[in-house]
Amino acid sequence: MDAVRLALGSAVDLVLWRNNCGVAEHWDGHDVSRVRYGLAAGSSDLVGVLAPHGRWFALELKTASGRVTPEQTQWLSLVRRMGGFACVVRSVDEAKAALVRARGGACE
């Protein structure tokens, strides 16, 4: 994650944010309350905006053997349907290649 963020962080036409998703439990001494955080269930690990037209950019980061969940697949499809770029990457090189494709107008 950090290696991809560093590799893409110097791109002057891209702004990226880390998107942590999940549920936190808070104990107030009497009850437990649950709070969801992140954009949405299945939303990508890195989200951002690609210049010059403000195009949405989303990367789901996985290890070599990591699997994409149905919620993540749905999120990636939604971003593409709305004209953004979204894909799964498993290395810094794949992330760099994804940025090149996004700049060229590809959806994934």
Could you write out the three-class secondary structure of 35-68? EEECCCCCCCCEEEEECCCCEEEEEEECCCCCCC
Asked whether residue 11 is domain-assigned, the answer is yes
How many separate domains does the chain show? 1
Do strands 22-27 and 14-18 pair parallel, antiparallel, or not at all (unpaired)?
Answer: unpaired
- CATH number of the domain within which 38 lies: 3.40.1350.10
Which structure tokens are listed for 103?
């700049």
Q: Which range of residues forms the domain containing residue 99? A: 2-103
Asked whether residue 108 is domain-assigned, the answer is no
Say what the pLDDT of residue 36 is. 85
Asked whether residue 81 is domain-assigned, the answer is yes
Q: Dump pLDDT digits (tens) for 66-105.
A: 999 999 999 999 999 999 999 999 999 999 999 999 999 9
What is the pLDDT confidence band of residue 51, given thresholds at 50, 70 and 90? very high
